[in-house]
A and B are shown apart, each in its own frame.
Chain A
């Protein structure tokens, strides 16, 4: 039997951020408090801002490591920023895998966003020039996206079963 030493790292936190740097969804899976996840997201924004103008690729790579997490960033063509924090582990993390996870997250995002009933609580025309407001309105009770993100996290975790 293969040694069970190198399990794939777990996802500790996932954050979606609008083009104007407002949080859409910050999801934490570790025992640490929510605040630290916001902290991680804030820090990654600085790094993303630094790298994004130069990069032509959506995937921004490993942003930084802090304490026990490694943080990866992704910016879509529509400038939505996605950040994931992985627990530091011995296993090799392949960029291709991370990109696949990011793509899945982006898919989850637009699928949830396209829900025609999402913005019914929002007065018509209130979104104005920036759609981030409409997105934010769903932030707290945005169940669809939260469920999809959780499903992805679960799927990633499922890798250590095989």
Chain B
């Protein structure tokens, strides 16, 4: 070995540079998302029940003023099969769903950020915003959902619409009560993907909002709004 050009990068360094890729079954993520949504749904139902209980206790103890009585909302029993949910008013249900969505999104935000960091390792830096969004559409999408985005549109003013005609988390959702109900349920499963995208974009330096929209399963579109000038 020629010592005069003694190499800094020993095999030990190279093995740290190229860590062995770890692989998991692609379906694991599907199963995970299904379980995650349901678990968090239960968890946040318990949390909101506890909060309500605490509030009621405080009202009973006279610490907190009682809220103005709400106009009685008709309880929609027909479309909701869950026994937990059926007894609750529409407003409480909405609040609960919002809480689950927030949780799912923040989990997605973390995961998306770390994933973006990882995927960026072997690529050059991004030249502009469109380049970054394209990276999300191609590399990021392939890793998470095993395909590329089908359609990307932009108004060149910071709004990007990413459309996927067969979005994986939605591909197996159906309901006893017809497609309208399935669509309603599907919304919950889009919270984590939204968070994933937002987290990945944030880590790449683009702080924006991501909203999802689906009109017919399993098609889905994400609208990414980035602040002007980015």
Checking B6, B114, B202 against A6 with a beta-carbon cut-off of 8 angstroms, the contacting residue is: B6
Contact with A along B204-227 (1 / 0, CB 8 A): 110100000000000000000000
Measured in the bound complex, the distance between the Cα atoms of B14 and A108 in whole Å is: 13
* CB-contact partner of B16 in A9, A97, A107, A125, under 8 A: A107
Query: Quick check: is B45 within 8 A (CB to CB) of the other chain?
Result: no
B19 at the interface (CB under 8 A from A): yes
A67 to B55, CA, bound (A): 65
- Interface contacts (Cβ under 8 Å), in number, total 124
- Of the stretches A22-30, A32-40, A152-160, the one at the interface is A152-160
Partner of B205, one of A5, A79, A113, A152: A79
Q: Report B-chain residues with C-beta under 8 Å of the C-beta of A12.
A: none
Docked pose: A108 CA to B17 CA in angstroms: 9
In the complex, whether A3 has a CB less than 8 A from a CB of chain B is yes
- A interface residue count range (under 10 / 10 to 19 / 20 to 34 / 35 or more): 35 or more
| B interface residue numbers (CB < 8 A to A) | 1-10, 12-19, 106, 110, 113-114, 116-118, 120-127, 202-205, 207
26 of the cross-chain contacts (CB-CB < 8 Å) are: A2-B2, A4-B3, A5-B4, A56-B125, A57-B125, A77-B123, A77-B124, A77-B125, A78-B116, A78-B117, A91-B5, A94-B9, A96-B9, A97-B8, A100-B9, A101-B9, A104-B17, A109-B117, A114-B114, A125-B106, A129-B202, A131-B113, A131-B202, A156-B8, A159-B9, A159-B13
- Chain B residues whose CB sits within 8 angstroms of the CB of A116 once the complex forms: 110
Given known pairs A103-B17, A107-B17, A110-B121, the reply for A94 and B126 (CB within 8 Å) is no
What residues of chain B lie closer than 8 Å to A106, measured between beta carbons? Answer: 121
Q: Given contacts A56-B124, A56-B127, A131-B113, are A2 and B118 in contact (CB under 8 A)?
A: no
- CB of A98 closer than 8 Å to a CB of B: yes
Which chain A residue shows the least CB distance to B102? A125
A-B residue pairs, 5 tightest by C-beta: A155-B12, A77-B120, A97-B8, A159-B10, A104-B16
Q: Say how far B34's CB is from chain A's closest CB, in angstroms.
A: 20
Q: Which residues of A contact B123 (CB under 8 A)?
A: 77
CA distance A81 to B110 in the complex (A): 20
